Chains A and B, each alone.
Chain A
Amino acid sequence: MTDSDREDPINWYILFACWMIASVSALGSMFFSEIMEFAPCSLCWYQRAFMFPLVFILLIALFPFDGNIVRYALPLALAGWGLAFYHTLLYSGVIPENLQPCSQGVSCSETYIDIFGFITVPMLSLISFSLIIGTLLFLKRRLPK
């Protein structure tokens, strides 16, 4: 399974795409916090805590290709997805603000950006984690049992 010679070469590119999604998301979140200077709220920090390691472990699994990565990356992505989902609900007002865990300084429900009027930062996070999970599951199905 770890022998890259017998591996379908397409699988490598699928994993590469997955790594790209994680990298773009991680850099994007750093752009928001470091360049645009939006202070990340605590929920954002937890999502970053699951996104940043993905960038590294997915990259490691590319050289040499290691299909076992799905086992390690999927739990991280699922945890991040859960947080992003909760955050999106909070943001859109489905969950009332007084139930949210962050009170120190930065509010998790304050709207910072609105792209095209409906895309928000937690939604971007949710989309990224969803894409990563989708790609990982797709890769898992293609790998020899």
Chain B
Amino acid sequence: MKKQYFVLIALIILALLFAFGSNLYRQKQTENYESMAKAEPSVLIREHSQTLGDDNAKVALIEFTDPGCETCSAFHPFVKQLLNAYPGKIKLVVRYAPFHKGADQMVKILEAAKKQGKYWETLEVMYRTQDQWASHHKPQPELIWRFLPQAGLDLDKLREDMTDPAIAKIIEQDLADAKVLNVTKTPGFFVNGKPLTSFGRQQLQRLVESEIKEMY
């Protein structure tokens, strides 16, 4: 056999082994998560978790998010599009993984805004103005206050509600769950306990659609 073919075949075998191993590993991971979610569903959805969509929807799209994360912001319109594509069948569950500097402040603002019924409006404002307050070189979370009136919030009440120790507990709990679920990057998606193992719009859509098919 020509030596070139010898090397070529070796390369193909290595690539196949790598791909096969990756698939096997991801499959195993998914099974692990599913059994974990079955044993303790609260790791994925806590009572305090904000949801969007029909409460009785059988498909829960759980998103570990960070208001300061660019990809979360970029993904947000797509996630809403997915929700709208299957009305009543999916609900979005927001979990916090505030890894960015100053992001825990944002979570406190969000939770305080929830008390004024302006949760989603506030999140939209945060994502929209993110490039102003969450620059990686110099994050200035205090700049968000300039933009918060756009969400129609009572800022004085917001400042007061933010100090509620229950909010700090929520962040703590979500971070602990993120650790259990091995969420180290945001956004981290789960669909009814199945993790999104390969990140991307199409992959998320496929995972959601296969779950809808299974549940309905």
Contacts and interface: CB of A to CB of B under 8 A. Distances in A.
Interface of A: 12, 16, 19-20, 23-24, 27, 30-31, 35-37, 39, 59, 62-63
Interface stretch (B21-29, B82-90, B115-123): B21-29
A69 to B, nearest CB: 15
Contacts of B182: 37
A54 B4 CA distance: 18
Given A12-B3, A62-B7, A63-B4, A35 B14 contact: no
B22 A62 contact: no
B25 A35 contact: yes
Given A35-B25, A36-B25, A62-B3, A27 B18 contact: yes
Contacts of B22: 31, 35
B contacts with A: majority SS: helix
A16 B6 contact: yes
A112 B5 CA distance: 37
Contacts of A36: 25
Interface string B1-16: 0011011001100100
B184 interface: yes
B7 A27 contact: no
Interface residues of B, number: 15
The secondary structure that dominates the A interface is helix
Contacts of A20: 10
A19 B11 CA distance: 11
Interface in B165-180: none
Given A20-B10, A62-B7, A35 B184 contact: no
Given A12-B3, A23-B10, A35-B22, 19 more contacts: A16-B3, A16-B6, A16-B10, A19-B7, A20-B10, A23-B14, A27-B14, A27-B17, A27-B18, A30-B18, A31-B18, A35-B21, A35-B26, A37-B182, A59-B7, A62-B3, A63-B3, A63-B4, A63-B7
